[in-house]
Amino acid sequence: MVILEQTSELKALMSIIRSKDTQRSDFIFYSDRIIRLLVEEALNHLPFVEKTVTTPMGAPYKGLAFKGSICGVSIMRAGEAMEQGLRDCCRSVRIGKILIQRDEETAKPQLYYAKLPPDISERFCLLLDPMLATGGSANKAIEVLLSHGVSEEQVIFVNLICSPEGIEKVLHVSAIRS
């Protein structure tokens, strides 16, 4: 688990979106700024390989490139709010969708829909869901990705606000699978 550095800027942005007095348009604008910060941090945790390119002046530049392909997978509907932040950082990124809802009788998460890129098992997946409450939907989404051949090491869960119980549940299930 990685928590964004609690900079003054981030604290100010969080204060805006957590305030009961914030107007809807401001909430959306500042939430989008935080989501972009989250996506950029998640991208920092992907593997990179060395890559040399030639500059316009003809000089070599030793840099880096992502090792492998990336895709986003949003847990519908809330996760869709994070898709634009991913698209802003990764041009032409593939996006998958998973719909999970709690069963009224059992209170367990149920998969209702999954549309994922056919080559998802070969991609690094940024699982997008801004709210983590109980951890049930997140764990079910991770289960769906694993069942499609994605290894746990290829999944980065990108989340905005979470409860301690949700974190514990996601981390506990991940530890059991390891």
Q: Is the peptide bond before 77 cis (omega within 30 degrees of 0)?
A: yes
Counted domains in the chain: 1
- Domain membership flag for residue 133: yes
CATH number at residue 24: 3.40.50.2020
pLDDT by residue for the chain (178 residues), tens only, comes to 888 999 999 999 999 999 999 999 999 999 999 999 999 999 999 999 999 999 999 999 999 999 989 999 999 989 999 999 999 999 889 999 999 998 888 888 999 999 999 999 999 999 999 999 999 999 999 999 999 999 999 999 999 999 999 999 998 865 555 4
- Domain membership flag for residue 141: yes
pTM equals 0.89
Range of the domain at 141: 8-177
Q: What is the CA radius of gyration of the chain?
A: 18
**Cβ neighbours of residue 53 closer than 8 Å, sequence gap 6 or more:** 60, 61, 63
Token pair recorded at residue 51: 């890559």
